[in-house]
Amino acid sequence: TDRADNATPSPPSRSPQTLTSDFVDRPDILAWICDKCARLGARAALVGLGGVGKSQIAIRYCHEIRDTSPQTSVFWLHASTKARFEEAYRDIADRLEFPGRENPKADILRLVRNWLCEETNGQWTMILDNVDNLETFFPSRDDKKDEPSRSPPASLAAYLPQSRNGSTLITSRNKDAAARLSGG
């Protein structure tokens, strides 16, 4: 699209904008996240009890990305349930205006994952917030027994991009879920 001012369009970004008034900055943790997520294709996780500030630290990290790497797209996904994850991917498809996204047969999860894996689409960071249930991303065989057999992967984890141009930060109360998704 031609723009009169020839300015580069801002990358798509969506994250909670403000930190809570009682946010306690944790520069050591932020530095660890910045270092870990600077690696190509990196995944990192913040794990802890509810209410200790994992999401707030992740918001602070989003601010850091915007300040130091404004060309990087930031995607914030509420990942507490399959429905919330799918809704977040639909939001990404809408913001990026994917052709065919309105088609009820469109595989939005695959479209978004494939777009994120395409290196020509630029750098990105994904925050998966509240990955508290391992079953959300890795359903057990019992959960799948009523699903018809189809070719797309049944696991939401299969739709998480693994790409040299992106990094993923996971917040979770569940150490096993965080470790499995982050590869740690």
Region class of 38: left (phi > 0), else alpha (psi between -120 and 50), else beta? alpha
Burial class (CB in 10 A: 0-12, 13-18, 19+), 166: buried
**SS3 category, 103:** coil
Cβ proximity of 182 and 44 under 8 Å: yes
pTM for the complete prediction?
Answer: 0.84
The structural domains of the chain, with segments of one domain joined by +, span 25-134+155-182
Show the tokens assigned to 89: 């991917």
Give the separation between CA 67 and CA 147, rounded to whole angstroms. 45
Under DSSP, the state recorded for 152 is S
- From the centroid of its chain, how far is CA 132? 14
Other C-beta atoms within 10 Å of 148: how many?
A: 4
CATH of 25-134+155-182, one of 3.40.50.300, 3.90.850.10, 3.90.550.10, 3.40.640.10: 3.40.50.300
pLDDT digits (tens), the chain, 184 positions: 443 444 444 566 666 667 767 777 888 999 999 999 998 899 999 999 988 889 999 999 999 999 999 999 999 999 999 999 999 999 999 999 998 899 999 999 999 999 999 999 999 999 999 999 999 999 886 645 555 555 445 689 999 999 999 999 999 999 999 999 998 7
